[in-house]
Amino acid sequence: MNLPNPFELLWRQFRNEWRLYARDKAAMFWTFLFPLLMLFGFGVIFRSGGPPALTLVRVRPAQETARDKAFLKALEESRLKIVTLGAKEAEERWAKGETTAQLESAGDGYRLRLNSYLIAQGQVAAQAASQAFLVAQARLNGSPEPERIPFVVESPGHAHSDSYAAFLVPGLIGLNLLTMGLFSVGMVTVSYREKGKFRRLAVTPLPKWVFLLGQILQRVTVVVLQTAVLLVAARLAFQIANQGSNLLLAVLVVLGTATFLAMGFALSSFASTVETYGAISNLVFFPMMLLSGVYFRLDSAPRWMQNAVFLLPLSPYLRVLRGVFNDGATLAGHGVGLAILGAWAVLSFVLAVKRFRWV
């Protein structure tokens, strides 16, 4: 009896997986379009390199005094955008939650109201306003204006990638890998098992490894393509390029793919229905997505929380990836992060192999 050549079968399985994947509009959206939308969306919002200009609402005084006028002039020279409103409109705007910081007269001085929901931006606005006030006072008194210390914007690795979009690119690459592992691999495995697709295959002579490898190879090519699309888009739209070695970047993408793929398989062994898996995977996905530094660094969080998050695989992974991509660094100095990532890869792989079930 001559069973078909397993490598020909593997090629066929691989093509079949791709064909079915390409027909799944939702998968195509999340895989290729969503990362691009995030990149363009955030890239455009934060185009200037820093956060967008902050708006300070100034409540128009009943009588504009010389001091008020001097203060306003100094404010307009600052990085703040000043909107002057009557007391009533200002109050309405405040009530709608649109105001970050509001400057109003209080007694014979001034007072700043900061929106507690936007406290970080509010504090920046407050500092800029205070500085403008010092400038205005100096001018009124005829004394020398306070001196400003000049600053430059630079990434931690002294490289040129100083825009937020550049920060975002490695984050999105990492997020893609996590999504691929948890959903394209883990969720699909659980659903095939629950719905009995594996059982139907089990009564055919198709070797199981051929089926699994075909699936894995398809996911890996998706990831490679996805990363390529992101890198090309970042270069064309924002002139963001890899600052480090391309070989290192490729090695890191392969390492990340292997880790998150194994994690998907491992996690799938803990659920027997798609519903249970949905709950488990969200429990893993959301904290990792929000806390690991995909979109923002967690610098203002308590130290213990930052340390805890660094023990999850995505956070050290993104740090190494950013080191190479944004700062042109090598792997030196990332020993701890790589060790944590490696530990996750090994743990996931062992769990995946030991616990994998067909039925």
Q: Which residues bind another protein (CB under 8 A)?
A: 1-4, 8-9, 12, 16, 19-20, 23-24, 192, 195-197, 199-200, 202-206, 359
Within 10 Å of residue 219's Cβ, how many Cβ atoms? 21
- Nearest CA-CA partner of 99 in 115, 84, 110: 115
Please report how close the Cβ of residue 213 comes to another protein at its closest, in angstroms.
15
Q: How far is the CB of 47 from another protein (least distance, A)?
A: 40
Per-residue tokens: 202: 């089990």
* Nearest approach, Cβ of residue 278 and another protein (Å): 18
- What amino acid is encoded at 13 in this protein? Q
Task: Select 2 or 143, whichever has its Cβ closest to another protein.
Answer: 2
Q: Indicate if the alpha-carbon torsion angle 70, 71, 77, 82 is positive or negative.
A: negative
Is the CB of residue 187 less than 8 Å from the CB of residue 277?
Answer: yes
CB 173 within 8 A of CB 167: no
Nearer to another protein, 24 or 64 (CB): 24
Query: What is the nearest approach in angstroms of another protein to the Cβ of residue 31?
Result: 16
Cβ nearer to another protein, comparing 113 with 219: 219
Q: Report CA-CA distances (Å) from 22 to 229, 277, 336.
A: 16, 24, 39
Q: Which of 4/156 has CB closer to another protein?
A: 4
Nearer to another protein, 8 or 98 (CB): 8
When the beta carbons of 9 and 249 are compared against another protein, the nearer one is 9
Nearer to another protein, 14 or 164 (CB): 14
- Which token pair is 134? 């010092």
Q: CA distances (Å), 161 to each of 46, 172, 250, 319, in order?
A: 13, 16, 19, 15
> Shortest approach of another protein to residue 206 CB, angstroms?
4
Q: Beta 55-59 vs 81-85: how paired, if at all?
A: parallel
Least Å distance, CB 36 to another protein, is: 24
State whether residue 213 is helix, strand or coil. Answer: helix
User: CB of 191: closest distance to another protein in angstroms?
Assistant: 9
Token pair in block for residue 1: 């009896």
